[in-house]
């Protein structure tokens, strides 16, 4: 873990998901959805990142002046269970401390649309987090986007790789917007203040 994080160190915000149009609106791809909205907000378009198997947008968030933060938004293009490799390559290339990495991901154990922000911890069976933790340790931030549990006897793998239901889609834009706000708050104001606003 990085004990000291320089104030001017960049942040690496990673939306987790699977590449390809067939996965685009899946529950498992909500991290990509949040990353896309953040890219829109900073006025950038995702493009291939050199040798890293990822797409990135570089930009700044926050008010002008000392509160402004340099961010690299990233979408690994390796498929979810291999996310650690591309994220690790970006971490090294941009010289990002592990504590300045934020993973935005779907979370089964939280009700739909509810957010939980935290630093470190286990992966709770999430293959994207498992791969990242294996690559550089667990002490990175997470913005956990609740998708709820599968109904009835549906398998978890089937549930996360299905699109949001029609009733869920009615609120999806609002929840994605709120998750993007939470990421910005985390980077600009710090974890505790962001948690007090969004961990409700």
How would you class 16 by CB atoms within 10 Å of its CB: exposed for 0-12, middle for 13-18, buried for 19 or more? buried
CA dist list (Å): 105 to 1, 123, 196: 21, 11, 20
Active site residue 28: yes
Residues 6+ apart with CB under 8 A from 35: 13, 14, 15, 46, 73, 74, 75, 104
Partners of residue 56 on adjacent β-strands: 47, 74
Identify the active-site residue in 28, 105, 126, 141.
28
> Rounded to whole angstroms, how far apart are CA atoms 138 and 116?
16
- Catalytic machinery residues: 28
């Amino acid at each position: 873990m990085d004990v000291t994080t320089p104030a001017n160190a960049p942040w690496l915000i990673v939306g987790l998901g699977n590449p390809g149009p067939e996965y685009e609106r899946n529950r498992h791809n909500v991290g990509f959805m949040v990353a896309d909205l953040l890219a829109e907000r900073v006025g950038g378009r995702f493009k291939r990142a050199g040798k890293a198997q990822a797409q990135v947008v570089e930009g700044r968030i926050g008010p002008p002046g000392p509160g402004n933060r340099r961010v690299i938004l990233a979408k690994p293009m390796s498929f979810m269970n291999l996310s650690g490799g591309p994220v690790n390559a970006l971490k090294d290339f941009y010289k990002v401390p592990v504590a300045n990495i934020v993973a935005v991901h779907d979370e089964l154990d939280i009700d739909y649309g509810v957010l939980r922000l935290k630093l470190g911890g286990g992966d709770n069976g999430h293959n994207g987090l498992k791969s990242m933790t294996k690559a550089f340790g667990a002490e990175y931030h997470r913005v956990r986007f609740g998708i709820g549990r599968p109904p009835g006897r549906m398998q978890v793998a089937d549930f996360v790789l299905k699109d949001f239901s029609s009733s869920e889609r009615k609120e999806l834009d609002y929840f994605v917007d709120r998750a993007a706000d939470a990421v910005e708050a985390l980077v600009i104001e710090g974890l505790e203040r962001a948690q007090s606003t969004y961990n409700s």
